[in-house]
A and B are shown apart, each in its own frame.
Chain A
């Protein structure tokens, strides 16, 4: 077939879809990361297989496809940072690297035969609900529409890399790299390198780069709490035991789960455990860093848990290497040859690494979402997002989201939260298909009631204790975190209360 014939055929299919002549799929899923793929796996297990996964990239894996910077790894133990329904006895380390996690995700795709469901190179630019048909239409970049009776948003909470808003950033003549779009072709050997940011990615990158670069300058705005990460390489015997007796791995997972759950006492609320954790972290800092001034620069002045706690055993050591410099002066701007800081100096470098995180939508939506009667979710969420149990929003029937409002963990594996969202979504979608509903719409009252509870509980947490973080909107509204234990979240997601929904 000639390429033009292919295009013609695709175009014809697309226009047919647009006219609604093609029978809509049962489910469309935006994103082929852990969440999108996990949802597909659980839907398949429930006997729902008319699924389309729309993925803008050309590869599965999301976070772990994009974050391949040196040192990239999870900071929740792999045994817990994996699906409980698809445990992997082969993890080579306590905290596996990005490549190994990506390998696990690819294995899931192969094992559950998901490849046939995924359409790569499909960027969703909007979702609109057709109330008449009871169908969601996903518009695609470059034209075309994909329709389905239910839509699952799994586009990832941290999938859009963001450059900081620093004056003159476009003037820099050297090399620019974002941590989430690593340039593996760039050789750091002998280079003068700047790293902007000292968050979760930076503390993994810095120890790797410091060994290669001639000079490394680390620009810090706010120091975070750091706890040592007790990594180990998994011995062969333990892999063998996990393989032969899977129950042992489930047991290890269970122990890790409860160990992380107990952290919630200190991280989510201000308790004696908070003081204890801060004590451990402060002692770690004192033991690792000899110079009192540097210690002062690295000491956080907010309560632990208020921002993401960093897990690293080699970050502090890396900062103290002779070729490394920690710079805490505010950045005044970027110029052709480097970074100017407010103490008046121009730090000239060959390459700037931006470990500056992601655009997180705490208000607004990643693309326009149009619900019943033309209502726009972005506008409704302008002052801060809210949903019912983080999954559904009133006025947007048959739409489900993963990592929706107030679903984020601060102390436990994101996948634990994700799994219970997925199971909930599968029940919702199952209900739509089984009862052949056009609309399954959460009641506004139920959503209001739910959010009153959430915001009341949030008020007493460390996140809302007065520190600024990406968890909060400019007005200090917390639309990101779930105020409680993973166990509580799991319990709330276990019940699907159909009386809270309007079915049509």
Chain B
């Protein structure tokens, strides 16, 4: 996927939108059924925190971008993920799912991933973030949005997600472009560097947070009464798009992540025993070990003006 980053930046600049562009009091909120409501509430709060995984990832990538155009794109994407989270909060508020100024709680696995990103992502090389963020975007962000639109009839929700998905298509465009960009160079040296990076204990902690997150989201999707296959097909899409070009396939991180994706979609694989155990284990993760929530969280808001 070879795109012209300068044109992309111009497109991003001209495609900015604000929460105020949406009429949050338009009719249709009642289309969320009483039966849907509790599950939807949980789903939405997960979703808005997933936006933050992307957001924090982009914030870290902006500091490492090899050129100014890419850097600026990441700065925008960081802001756009925040916009998505704000939009999702506004939807929750519309549906009566927010009490006052309260910010929804993320599930423990999301919390751990965000904590890791906040602590260590600034120290991770661009290859790692640039390869894993598209996976998270396509599998979680992308697939979950689709689920939502299939189940909720509120037109305002559809309106909001039309805009969000529009942004996401650009995130993915740039994401896969960078994934391929990182696949150019000496294969041997790239592999060596990947091994060295993988041995970094900070990254191992990250992997330990990442693995159970995917399984947790799968479980949540099933609880919602949705088919897990859609999640899998989204994950396969990562392998399909990222592996379209030789350069993409040569990127060792693409190889690692897409191979791992194959394990995730294969429910019969032994992989799921320890990882599912890990999910259950994290349920008992002592809250006092969690660090205080970072202050950027306080900037989240469902409001259109400030």
A-to-B contact residues, CB < 8 Å: 291-294, 296, 301, 329-330, 332-333, 337-338, 340-348, 468
Q: Which range contains the number of B residues in contact with the other chain?
A: 20 to 34
9 cross-chain pairs, A with B, having the tightest CB-CB distances, nearest first: A342-B79, A344-B83, A332-B16, A343-B82, A344-B19, A346-B305, A329-B79, A343-B79, A293-B295
| B68 pairs with A468, CB closer than 8 A | yes
| B63 pairs with A301, CB closer than 8 A | yes
Q: List chain B residues, Cβ under 8 A from A332.
A: 16-18
Q: List chain B residues, Cβ under 8 A from A294.
A: 295
Q: With A346-B20, A348-B306 in contact, is A293–B294 under 8 Å at CB?
A: yes
Q: List chain A residues, Cβ under 8 A from B304.
A: 344-346
User: Is B299 interfacial (CB 8 A cutoff)?
Assistant: yes
Q: List chain A residues, Cβ under 8 A from B19.
A: 344-346
Q: List chain B residues, Cβ under 8 A from A344.
A: 17-19, 82-83, 86-87, 304
Task: State the CA gap A343–B80 with chains docked (Å).
Answer: 6
Task: State the CA gap A140–B76 with chains docked (Å).
Answer: 46
Listed by A's residue number, 27 A-B pairs whose Cβ atoms lie within 8 Å are A292-B294, A293-B294, A294-B295, A296-B122, A301-B63, A329-B79, A330-B72, A332-B18, A333-B16, A338-B305, A340-B20, A342-B16, A342-B83, A343-B82, A343-B83, A343-B86, A343-B299, A344-B82, A344-B83, A344-B304, A345-B18, A345-B301, A345-B303, A345-B304, A345-B305, A346-B19, A347-B306
User: Is B296 interfacial (CB 8 A cutoff)?
Assistant: yes
User: Is B75 interfacial (CB 8 A cutoff)?
Assistant: yes
Q: With A293-B294, A301-B63, A330-B76 in contact, is A345–B16 under 8 Å at CB?
A: no
Interface residues of B in 16-33 (CB under 8 A from A): 16-20
Q: Given known contacts A332-B18, A348-B306, what 20 new A-B pairs fall within 8 Å (CB)?
A: A293-B294, A293-B295, A301-B63, A329-B79, A332-B16, A338-B305, A340-B18, A340-B20, A343-B79, A343-B80, A343-B83, A343-B86, A344-B19, A344-B82, A344-B83, A344-B86, A344-B304, A345-B19, A345-B303, A347-B306
Residue from B76, B299, B301, B305 in contact with A348 in the complex, judged by beta carbons closer than 8 Å: B305
Q: Separation in Å of the A429 CB from the closest CB of chain B?
A: 43
Q: List chain A residues, Cβ under 8 A from B16.
A: 332-333, 340, 342
Q: List chain A residues, Cβ under 8 A from B305.
A: 337-338, 345-348
Q: Separation in Å of the B42 CB from the closest CB of chain A?
A: 23
| A293 pairs with B79, CB closer than 8 A | no
Task: State the CA gap A32–B87 with chains docked (Å).
Answer: 54
Q: List chain B residues, Cβ under 8 A from A468.
A: 68
Interface residues of B in 69-105 (CB under 8 A from A): 72, 75-76, 79-80, 82-83, 86-87
Residue from B17, B83, B295 in contact with A291 in the complex, judged by beta carbons closer than 8 Å: B295
Task: State the CA gap A445–B18 with chains docked (Å).
Answer: 57
Q: List chain B residues, Cβ under 8 A from A292.
A: 294-295
Q: Separation in Å of the A320 CB from the closest CB of chain B?
A: 11
B-to-A contact residues, CB < 8 Å: 16-20, 63, 68, 72, 75-76, 79-80, 82-83, 86-87, 122, 294-296, 299, 301, 303-306
Q: List chain B residues, Cβ under 8 A from A348.
A: 305-306
Q: List chain B residues, Cβ under 8 A from A342.
A: 16, 76, 79-80, 83
Q: List chain A residues, Cβ under 8 A from B68.
A: 468
**B60 — nearest CB in chain A belongs to which residue?**
A296
Residue from A291, A293, A329, A346 in contact with B82 in the complex, judged by beta carbons closer than 8 Å: A329
Residue from A292, A301, A340 whose CB has the most chain B CB atoms within 10 Å: A340
| A346 pairs with B80, CB closer than 8 A | no
Task: State the CA gap A271–B305 with chains docked (Å).
Answer: 47
Q: List chain B residues, Cβ under 8 A from A346.
A: 18-20, 304-306
Q: Separation in Å of the B100 CB from the closest CB of chain A?
A: 19
Q: List chain B residues, Cβ under 8 A from A343.
A: 79-80, 82-83, 86, 299
Q: Separation in Å of the B20 CB from the closest CB of chain A?
A: 5
Residue from A291, A337, A346 whose CB has the most chain B CB atoms within 10 Å: A346
| B86 pairs with A345, CB closer than 8 A | yes
Task: State the CA gap A268–B51 with chains docked (Å).
Answer: 41
Task: State the CA gap A348–B301 with chains docked (Å).
Answer: 15
**B16 — nearest CB in chain A belongs to which residue?**
A332
**B297 — nearest CB in chain A belongs to which residue?**
A293
Residue from B17, B68, B294, B305 whose CB has the most chain A CB atoms within 10 Å: B305
Q: List chain B residues, Cβ under 8 A from A333.
A: 16
Q: Separation in Å of the A334 CB from the closest CB of chain B?
A: 12
Q: List chain A residues, Cβ under 8 A from B63.
A: 301
Q: List chain B residues, Cβ under 8 A from A341.
A: 79
Q: List chain A residues, Cβ under 8 A from B295.
A: 291-294
**A349 — nearest CB in chain B belongs to which residue?**
B306
Task: State the CA gap A22–B178 with chains docked (Å).
Answer: 68
| A345 pairs with B306, CB closer than 8 A | yes
Q: Separation in Å of the B215 CB from the closest CB of chain A?
A: 30
**A347 — nearest CB in chain B belongs to which residue?**
B306
Task: State the CA gap A346–B19 with chains docked (Å).
Answer: 8
Q: Separation in Å of the B77 CB from the closest CB of chain A?
A: 9
Q: Separation in Å of the A306 CB from the closest CB of chain B?
A: 13
Q: With A343-B86, A344-B82 in contact, is A293–B301 under 8 Å at CB?
A: no
Task: State the CA gap A292–B295 with chains docked (Å).
Answer: 8
Q: List chain A residues, Cβ under 8 A from B86.
A: 343-345
Q: List chain B residues, Cβ under 8 A from A340.
A: 16, 18, 20
Q: List chain A residues, Cβ under 8 A from B83.
A: 342-344
Task: State the CA gap A291–B305 with chains docked (Å).
Answer: 25
Q: Separation in Å of the A321 CB from the closest CB of chain B?
A: 15
Task: State the CA gap A292–B122 with chains docked (Å).
Answer: 12
| A330 pairs with B75, CB closer than 8 A | yes
